[in-house]
Amino acid sequence: MTSMSSLQHTNEQPVVRIIDLHKYFGSLEVLKGVDLEVSRGEVVTIMGPSGSGKSTLLRCINLLEKPTSGQVWFDDICITDPKTNINKLREHVGMVFQSFNLFPHLSAKGNIMLALKKVLKRSQEEAEQIALDQLAKVGLSDRADYRPSQLSGGQQQRVAIARALAMDPQVMLFDEATSALDPELVRGVLDVMRELAKGGMTMIVVTHEMGFARDVADRAVFMDEGVIVEQGCPEALFDNPQHERTRDFLGHII
Amino acid sequence: MIKVNKHSTASSTIRSILVTIAVLSLIVCLTAGSTQAVGLTINKTTAQSNQIVGNNIIGGVPTRITWEATVGANETVKQITLVFPEGTALGEGANSKATVLDDLTRLDAPQTSTISAEQTTVTFDEPVASGLLIRIEMYFIALPEASGEYRLTGSYVDSAGKERELQASRAISVISATTVDVITLWMDDQPWVELWNSVLFLKVFLNPQLIVASIPALFLGWLRSLLLVLVGFPLAIPIGLAISFLRMSKLRIIRFFAAIYVNVIRGTPLFLQIYIAFFGLPFLGISIDSYILGILVLAVNSSAYLAEIFRAGIQSIPKGQFEASASLGMHPAQTMFHVILPQTIRRVIPTATSEFILLYKDTSLLAAVGVMEQMMFAKSMVASTGNMTPYIVSAGYYLLITLPLTKIIAEFEKKLAAADDNSSAPDDKKKPKMSLLERMKSIQKIKALRNKK
Ligand SMILES: Nc1ncnc2c1ncn2[C@@H]1O[C@H](COP(=O)(O)OP(=O)(O)OP(=O)(O)O)[C@@H](O)[C@H]1O
Ligand SMILES: [Mg+2]
C-alpha cells in the first residue's frame, strides 16, 4: 500500500473489493492472502513472474476459480457467498483470455451474438446490430462473417474483446491478452484496450507491456508467490521500486 | 299306404317317381363304388420345379410331369391317355414314358407312346395287371403361362377294350413367370453362362442366374437390415449422449454406474447380449416383437460405444471454450448445447460414422434369433438352392452402404485436418507463420528470462 496518495481514482466505493483471498490447488497455496480494491473507471495492471498467481487472482474475480477462503465483492454483492447467482454476476464482468477462446464454429459476428441472445435474451436483430457496432469499434467491420480460423491472432483477440464488451460489462478482466500474439499484431489489440480505458472502463489487466501500463494504468500492481508485493502509480513502481523482488523482476523484463 | 291309395292318381305318380329315383341312385352308387374299386387309383401327380430358385413351377416353361396310378383289383390297363390342360405347349424333345412297378421292382413294359400339345397316349403291348403301379413321366411339357392350379384328366382302356374316364389328377400349382424368371431361364440356355458355370468356383460362388435371382429376392432383407440400423442408431445417440454426461458427472456414484454400463456392454459380445435379451425377456413374461427387440438391443449396445465417443469428443474441446462461455454468463447447459456440442459433433462425425458401419454389419447377428433381415433372406435362399451365390450378393448389399460411408469418413477427416491447419487469416497467407509449438517455445523463453532471479 505504498504511494496511495498518488492514485487518481475517485473516492466512491470500490467496484471490486478483494479481501484476504486464499486459494489452494490441493496442498499448493497459490494465493496467500490478497487484498485489492479497484474503483470505478480505474485501470489496474498486474505484473509478476510466471506462477505468481496473477491468472488465478483474475479468475477468482469471476469465479472461474473458487477461492478457498476470503471474500470478493462486486459493488455490494459478495460473490463468494454461495447464494450469489454467479451467472448473473458474470454478465457484468467481461474477461479476455490469453488464448482468445473464440468459438470456432461461429463467425466473428456469431461469437458476439451468442451470449446476447442466450443470456441477455436479445432478439436476433438487436443482437446482430450490437455485434456489428462492437466489431466496428475494434476495427473489424469487414470481418463480421469470418470464422476465427480465418482471422489472425490479433483480429481474433479483438473479436474476443468485442464479444466481452457487447455484454456491456462494468469491469473488464484481461489475462495476458497480447502474450500469444506475434509482435506486430500486439499493437492493434493494445490500441483497442487504450480506447477502452479512455472511455472510462474499469479494467484489471494482467500484462507485461510496460509501455501500455505507463500510458494507461492508474495503478500498477506487482505480485510474487501469491501475494501483492508492491503497488502504486506506474511511474513510481517502474522507476523507483521499493522491493528487492520488484527490482529483480523489472531488471529482467526491461 | 292305405290312406295314400285313397288319394288321387297324382300322388301315386309322385310315389312311383320317388321309387324310381331311389333305385336309380342305388345303382349309381354301386356302380360308382365298383368303378373305384376296380379302376385306376391316382396316387400322385407332380411337376418338377423348373426354377433354380425356389420350388415353383413356372407356366410356359418346359418341366417334367410325373403321374402315378395303381391298377385296381380285377382290372387291367391296356392304354392310358392323359389330357393336358388347355394352353399347354410342348418343349423341344417332349416325350412321355411309362414305367410299371411291382412294389419296388421295375417290370418290363413294352409300349408305344404318342404325345401332342393336347394329350399323351401310352399303349402297352401287354395289359398291365391289377395291383401294379403305372408311372408316366412326361418330359418338356410347358404348362399354361397363366398362374393357377392345373389337373390332368383323361381316360384309359382296359383289356376288354372298354374305355373309361380317369379321375382328375392332383393339382399342380403353376405361377406365371416374372421378369427375373424370364432372364434366368434365358440365361440357362446361353453358352457363355454354361461355360462360366463349368468352372466349379464360379458356379458355386458367382452363379450368374443366381446373381440375377438374388438381387430382387434379397432386396427386402436389405431394406429390413437397413431399417434396423436406421432406427436403432438414432435411438442410440440420445442414450449415448446422456450416458456420456453421466460419465462426466461431478458425483462419483453416478460416474461409477455409468462406467459400469459402458464397460459391461463394451466388454461383452453383442451376440451374447442378443441371446440374453431374446431368451431372457420371455422368462420375465415380457414379449416384444422380435424386430423391435432387435432394434432395442442394437440401440443399447451402440449407446455404450457412442457414450465413449461423445465423452472423448467433449473432453477434447479445450477448457478455454468452457471458460469463455461461462465468463459470458452462460449456464452450463447453454454452454454445452451452444458451444461444446456443436464443436463436438464435427469432431465425432468420423468415429460415430464408423460406429454406424459397425452396427449396420452387426444387424446380421440378429439372424441367429430369427429376426428377418438380410442374412436370413440369404440363408434361406442358400438353403433352397444349395449355392453360395446369395451370400456373395448379400455381401454386395452390405458394401453398397459401407463403402460409400467409409469414403465419406475419409473425406470428412481430410476436411477436418485442413480446417485445423487453416488457422491463419486470408491476408496473412503469404508470409510464413510461426507454428503453435514454435510460438509456445518462444513465449516460454521470454517467461523463463523474466523469472530468472
Ligand atoms: N487448475 C490448477 N490446478 C493446479 N494448479 C494450478 C491450477 N491453475 C494454476 N495452478 C498453479 O498455480 C500457480 C499459479 O498459477 P497462475 O496461472 O495463477 O500463475 P500466473 O501468475 O498467471 O503465471 P503465468 O504468468 O505463467 O500465467 C502455478 O504454480 C500453477 O501451476
Ligand atoms: Mg497466467
Q: How far is A31 from chain B (nearest CA, A)?
A: 18
Higher pLDDT: B210 or B27? It is B210
For the cut 60, the answer to whether the pLDDT of residue B447 exceeds it is no
Contact A103 B339 (CB under 8 A): yes
Q: For residue A50, report the distance from its CA to the centre of ligand 2, in Å.
A: 7
pTM: 0.74
Contact B425 A152 (CB under 8 A): yes
Contact B451 A253 (CB under 8 A): no
Q: What is the pLDDT of residue B337?
A: 95
Q: How far is A88 from chain B (nearest CA, A)?
A: 6
Q: What is the pLDDT of residue B160?
A: 82
> How does pLDDT run across B166-211, given as a tens digit for each residue?
888 888 888 887 888 888 888 888 999 999 999 999 999 999 999 9
Class of domain B208-420: mainly alpha
Q: What is the pLDDT of residue B122?
A: 93
Are B339 and A103 a contacting pair, CB within 8 Å? yes
- Write out the residues surrounding ion ligand 2, Cβ under 5 A: A 55
Interface residues from chain B to A (CB-CB < 8 Å): 318, 320-321, 323-331, 334, 338-339, 342-343, 346, 419, 422-428, 433-434, 439, 443, 447, 449-453
Label residue B432 by pLDDT band (50, 70, 90).
very low
> How does pLDDT run across B238-254, given as a tens digit for each residue?
999 999 999 999 999 99
Give CA B320 to chain center in angstroms: 54
> How does pLDDT run across B61-110, given as a tens digit for each residue?
888 999 999 998 888 899 999 999 998 989 888 999 999 998 888 988 89
Contact B321 A103 (CB under 8 A): yes
Q: Which residue of A90, A93, A99 is in closest CB contact with B320? A: A99
Contacts of B323 in chain A (CB under 8 A): 64, 95, 97, 101
Q: For residue B85, report the distance from its CA to the centre of ligand 1, in Å.
A: 97
For the cut 70, the answer to whether the pLDDT of residue B435 exceeds it is no
Counting from 1 in the atom list of ligand 1, the atom nearest the Cα of A176 is 27
Size of interface A-B (CB pairs under 8 A): 94
Q: What is d(CA A112, CA A164) in angstroms, rounded to the nearest whole number?
A: 8
Q: What is the pLDDT of residue B421?
A: 58
Torsional sign, CA B121, B123, B124, B127: positive
β-bridge partners, A95: A173
Q: What is the pLDDT of residue B178?
A: 80
Q: Which of A82-91, B6-15, B272-281 has the lowest mean pLDDT?
A: B6-15
Which residues 86-125 in chain A show a CB within 8 A of chain B? 87-88, 90-91, 93-95, 97, 99, 101-105, 114-115, 118-119
Q: Looking up cell 473425406, which residue turns up?
A: B411
Q: What is the pLDDT of residue A8?
A: 45
Integer CA distances (angstroms), B380 to B217, B362, B367, in order: 11, 19, 11
Number of CB atoms found within 10 A of residue A17's CB: 18
Q: What is d(CA B163, CA B182) in angstroms, rounded to the nearest whole number?
A: 41
Label residue B6 by pLDDT band (50, 70, 90).
very low
For the cut 50, the answer to whether the pLDDT of residue B4 exceeds it is no
Q: What is the pLDDT of residue B426?
A: 39
For the cut 90, the answer to whether the pLDDT of residue B2 exceeds it is no
For the cut 70, the answer to whether the pLDDT of residue B440 exceeds it is no
Q: Looking up cell 413367370, which residue turns up?
A: B177
Higher pLDDT: B172 or B453? It is B172
Label residue B434 by pLDDT band (50, 70, 90).
very low
The domain defined by B40-177 folds into Immunoglobulin-like (2.60.40)
Contact A163 B328 (CB under 8 A): yes
Amino acid at site B143 = L
Contact B324 A160 (CB under 8 A): yes
C-alpha cell read off for B67: 403321374
Ligand nearest to the CA of A223: 1
> How does pLDDT run across B111-129, given as a tens digit for each residue?
999 999 999 999 999 899 8
Which residue CA neighbors atom 24 of ligand 1 most closely? A50
Give CA B347 to chain center in angstroms: 38
Contact A99 B331 (CB under 8 A): no
Sites in chain A below the pLDDT cut of 50: 1-10
* E strand segments, B197-313: none
Q: How far is A85 from chain B (nearest CA, A)?
A: 10
Q: For residue A19, report the distance from its CA to the centre of ligand 2, in Å.
A: 21
- Ligand 1 contacts (CB < 6 A) are A 25, 30, 48, 50-56
Q: What is the pLDDT of residue B449?
A: 55
Residue range B139-159: average pLDDT? 89
Q: What is the pLDDT of residue B159?
A: 81
B76: three-class secondary structure by DSSP: coil
Q: What is d(CA A12, CA A41) in angstroms, rounded to the nearest whole number?
A: 11
Terminal-residue alpha carbon distance, chain B: 148
For the cut 70, the answer to whether the pLDDT of residue B16 exceeds it is no
For the cut 60, the answer to whether the pLDDT of residue B271 exceeds it is yes
Q: For residue B94, report the distance from its CA to the centre of ligand 2, in Å.
A: 98
Quote the Cα angle for A99-A102-A108, to 5°.
135
B39: three-class secondary structure by DSSP: coil
Q: For residue A55, report the distance from its CA to the centre of ligand 2, in Å.
A: 4
pLDDT averaged over every residue in chain B: 85
Are B107 and B25 a contacting pair, CB within 8 Å? no
Q: What is the pLDDT of residue B431?
A: 36
Q: What is the pLDDT of residue B36?
A: 44
Reduce the secondary structure of B316-382 to three states and give it as a string.
CCCHHHHHHHHHCCCCHHHHHHHHHHHHHHHHHHHHHHHHHHHHHHHHHHHHHHCCCCHHHHHHHHH
Q: What is the pLDDT of residue B446?
A: 53
Give me the residue spans of the domains in chain B. Answer: 40-177, 208-420
Integer CA distances (angstroms), B267 to A47, A147, B264, B273, B336, in order: 52, 41, 5, 11, 29
Label residue B25 by pLDDT band (50, 70, 90).
low
Contacts of B326 in chain A (CB under 8 A): 64, 87, 90
Q: For residue A51, report the distance from its CA to the centre of ligand 1, in Å.
A: 5
Contact A118 B318 (CB under 8 A): no
Q: How far is A149 from chain B (nearest CA, A)?
A: 4
For the cut 90, the answer to whether the pLDDT of residue B404 exceeds it is yes
Q: How far is A198 from chain B (nearest CA, A)?
A: 23
Give CA A59 to chain center in angstroms: 9
Strands A171-175, A202-206: pairing kind: parallel
Q: Which residue of A50, A95, A119 is in closest CB contact with B330? A: A119
Q: What is d(CA A187, CA A139) in angstroms, rounded to the nearest whole number?
A: 13
Q: Which residue of A49, A90, A252 is in closest CB contact with B329? A: A90
